[in-house]
Structure 1
């Protein structure tokens, strides 16, 4: 219930989060939340503008006595990942998020919560609305479409912002201060195939992979979580090799920045082999579940009889297609040689679609090193081209190179230690795609930092925000605002 959320401390933060989450805001469909944010700024009597691509900028003067401090840019993105459980009835285009309190966590009922990056947006809104929070001059930058293309950050022109320091509120660990991030590129492979009639004396089966945790394809790519598309292909390849399985349809995964949780395939096998086929795949399913028993305890693999499909992929295409999916790299490609425990380069095989004579494979390749990003993207391109696919690169964005000599970093570290009994924060780069690298292209002299409260399971229906961490983070924010350096 929203009333439970609004009663949480700090109330200014949670109240603004509840207001925001009442507004539908899927990526690439931000019209309503843009209007909401513009109305919010104008109703406060603050200078409010929308740029050419839909970013909203709200400016608030410094509070009394803080006029001599550097202007800061407080930045978060308006859009959210829209993922839901299959058994959840929910329309992200028209409904607000249904939230509830679960102990020390705020969750959503069967959907993503939108704490990524809604808590950052709510933080900025609460500060803009406040009359008693001490702060320097603020430019609030609310970008669009961070999750599926970074088009807001890419479209922000140089010279629009006047601030000297950028506080990005999109980190998901409250003991971490972010100073760098990975860049990324979308890799899309497509091809057509002959959609021929299924042979006589074949029987249909439906194979389902579900119950996987999913999650953030950058921050959680190293956790050994199951990828529904790769697991499905393992099953199909075995069936193809031993029983000459014929493939009709695949529908696996979704958004590129989410590790795929579910996949469904419709296939056909010779009727005389249907019993042995089912037994063989059930045995493989048990093996896979055993392999993933620790990381994916709720994994389900179902092999069920179904109506025999009318058409299937031609065998020559099927052979190279299944081999390409098997060969294509998924997961961690290289760990950083310079920053301990940091994933440098990875790939997420996010979506696989086969239907009506058309194949589409969507991947997101990430890296903090440009040359390594292109190395893996090129390897994927070569793999899919061997299967007769056309491969397109799109959505390329740069990483954010760490600056360990940052002035705002030197301010924030001692504040964190003072507020947390001497505990040192983790000053680190992350494997997610933050907007700082892109914004830095047009604002190369801006000092940038990223931080935020604990958010777990982002980009999945298990997304949750920790209440106690939000309280810790809020105190940190208020102290940072008091100690922004002088001009």
Structure 2
């Protein structure tokens, strides 16, 4: 599938990674793979208590006096799959598909986020034609679940003062800042009671949305399955009595939910009317998302009646709180045109006993905007008689447009390409935000190839931009190790 693509060593390593299970918090197989690779080359490898890896790479001849540069990416990936796909990234089963200039996977996430970084680092070390100063390869774990690896990093393992993050997803963009994030869990306990023996149950599934990354793609206005399922049930419940037995949806905190399912109980004589009302709601929702998610749908199927369900009053309260949870862009950046500054995304709904938990991820590059959004979530929980738990993950990475690393990257870019790069920030979490707090005076930059729809089975990477990414990486480490560029000691 990737034979004869350039650079060949990169694609060889990338293909190997697709065959290795690497879900967040379960990176042991890929850690073993990288450890064996380093041992084969006699490279010193160290790790910290969080399982992050640091590999020391000597300079190429003549570049020994150049400053130490840290190349960084994460080992884990979001393991999403279509329900009917025989492939499963959690088991190392990713089937590559080529569609013209794009590489994607059959029914699953591809893992270009961030297999691109790991493959590039390994290929660079093996490339005898790529001059560089001393390098440290920092490979973190559990990035996709709140940057846990970076948060647990032992900063004393790093000796470099320049850090190059290889986890950006837009070609021609040089990233110099990112949003911080906070997780929230609104937990709403509500009264449940046995069902009337004459009740019937329906399983209602919201599906067909495109989903995507809740930071990088939040500005696209895509459908959130939990939100529009809750909306439909709320609309139906305004006309026909119903009781909610369960509501579950979403698979990843940082992915826009593509599907969600609720089990409801209604009087036997109302079942057909409920189906009609759901069809009406579906038509309105499809119209709303006709441009962004044309295939969204609501599917109602007969279900085995559960032993109990939330009471009618509790059902109303819970559907109200789903409606009150904000989702989508909330403010635009005043510094970069078209960039979202603040957003929140309802990523998961979980039913456990009599408690409905709604897990959101709020992002902002403006730390001062966070309290207002979190206050809204707290108010929603209080209205439902529940409580909210917050987990602050990291603050924003503030841009430094006078960065020497940025200046060197511009030189390498101009030398390699005819177009002009865009210097920007991203509305997503990059580990630079955390690592910069752990290692003083780090000069940081981030770039990568074009990756679209990460965190969803539609994830794909542009093959030509991978070659551009590689060219820029090789040129950048060369520029940073030149004795006349101002970086050398």
Q: Normalised by the size of structure 2, how large is the TM-score?
A: 0.96
What SS class does the counterpart of residue 91 from structure 2 fall into? coil
| Deviations, residues 119-178 of structure 1 (Å, cap 9, x unaligned) | 011000111222221111100000111100212111112322111211100000111000
Q: Distance in 2 between matches of 1:303 and 1:95?
A: 33
Residue of structure 2 in register with 1:367 after alignment: 364
Match of 2:451 among 444, 452, 455: 455
Relative distance call for 1:54 and 1:395 in structure 2 (3 A) is farther
Residue of structure 2 in register with 1:79 after alignment: 76
Residue of structure 2 in register with 1:117 after alignment: 114
Deviation of 1:245 (Å):
1.4
Deviation of 1:192 (Å):
3.0
Deviation of 1:395 (Å):
4.8
Instruction: Show the 5 A alignment for 1:325-474.
Output: 325-421=322-418, 423-474=419-470
Residues 248 and 355, structure 1, Cα contact 8 Å, conserved in 2: no
Farther off after superposition, 426-435 or 34-43: 34-43
Q: Distance in 2 between matches of 1:300 and 1:320?
A: 24
Residue of structure 1 in register with 2:475 after alignment: 479
Residue of structure 1 in register with 2:484 after alignment: none
Relative distance call for 1:155 and 1:354 in structure 2 (3 A) is closer
Q: Distance in 2 between matches of 1:361 and 1:95?
A: 30
Q: Distance in 2 between matches of 1:257 and 1:219?
A: 10
What SS class does the counterpart of residue 255 from structure 2 fall into? coil
Deviation of 1:355 (Å):
4.8
Deviation of 1:61 (Å):
1.1
Deviation of 1:448 (Å):
0.2
Residue of structure 1 in register with 2:270 after alignment: 273
Deviation of 1:55 (Å):
0.6
Instruction: Show the 5 A alignment for 1:52-451.
Output: 52-421=49-418, 423-451=419-447
Deviation of 1:10 (Å):
0.9
Residue of structure 1 in register with 2:38 after alignment: 41
Deviation of 1:21 (Å):
1.9
Q: Distance in 1 between matches of 2:115 and 2:363?
A: 23
Deviation of 1:315 (Å):
2.3
Farther off after superposition, 217-226 or 92-101: 92-101
| Deviations, residues 170-220 of structure 1 (Å, cap 9, x unaligned) | 000111000000010110122333331112433322211111101000000
CA RMSD of aligned residues (A): 1.5
Deviation of 1:370 (Å):
1.2
In the alignment, structure 2 segments of 5+ residues that lack a partner are: 481-486
Q: Distance in 2 between matches of 1:253 and 1:151?
A: 20
Instruction: Show the 5 A alignment for 1:26-37.
Output: 26-37=23-34
Farther off after superposition, 13-22 or 137-146: 13-22
Deviation of 1:29 (Å):
0.5
Deviation of 1:16 (Å):
0.8
Q: Distance in 2 between matches of 1:181 and 1:403?
A: 12
In the alignment, structure 1 segments of 5+ residues that lack a partner are: none
Q: Distance in 1 between matches of 2:126 and 2:23?
A: 25
Residue of structure 2 in register with 1:11 after alignment: 8
Farther off after superposition, 285-294 or 271-280: 271-280
Q: Normalised by the size of structure 1, how large is the TM-score?
A: 0.96
- How many residues were matched structurally? 483
What SS class does the counterpart of residue 309 from structure 1 fall into? coil
Residues 188 and 318, structure 2, Cα contact 8 Å, conserved in 1: no
Residues 5 and 100, structure 1, Cα contact 8 Å, conserved in 2: no
